[in-house]
Amino acid sequence: MSSSNSVTVQILDKEYSIICPPEERNNLVGAARYLDGKMREIRSSGKVIGADRIAVMAALNITHELLHRQERPEASSGGTTREQVRDLLERVDQALSDDPVSKTD
C-alpha cells in the first residue's frame, strides 16, 4: 500500500500513522476516536497510570462491551464482531509497539 493510504489518528495526545484501505478510513478514524475517549475516561479516573496500562484497560473494556452485545439475542453475528475486535486489538498493539515514545511510559 502506498503512503496515500496512510491515516493519521490521535489517541491520548499522541499521533499514529496507520495504513488502511481508503474504504476503511472512516471506520478507522471512528475507532480511534472511540478508543481515545475510552482511554481519556480511564486516565481521568486516576486509578490507572501509564499509557500502556490505560491502553490495555481500554481494550479490555471495549472487548467486554462487544462480547456483552453478542450475548443479547438482537446482536449481529458473533464471528464478525470477534474478528473486528481481534483486528482492532492487533492494530493497537502494533501502533503501541511502533511508537518509541510509548516505550518510555
Residue 101: CB atoms within 10 A of its CB come to 9
- Given a cut of 50, whether residue 97 has pLDDT beyond it is yes
Cα(92)–Cα(10) distance, integer angstroms: 12
- Given a cut of 80, whether residue 12 has pLDDT beyond it is yes
In the chain, domain spans: 3-104
**What does the pLDDT read at residue 68?**
86
CATH topology of domain 3-104: Double Stranded RNA Binding Domain (3.30.160)
Between 77 and 14, where is the model more confident? 14
Mind listing the pLDDT tens digit for each residue in 49-87?
Answer: 899 999 999 999 999 998 888 877 554 555 577 777 877
pLDDT, the chain, mean:
82
- Given a cut of 80, whether residue 4 has pLDDT beyond it is no
Confirm if 31 and 11 have CB atoms less than 8 A apart.
Answer: no
Query: Which grid coordinates are listed for 34?
Result: 472511540
**What does the pLDDT read at residue 81?**
73
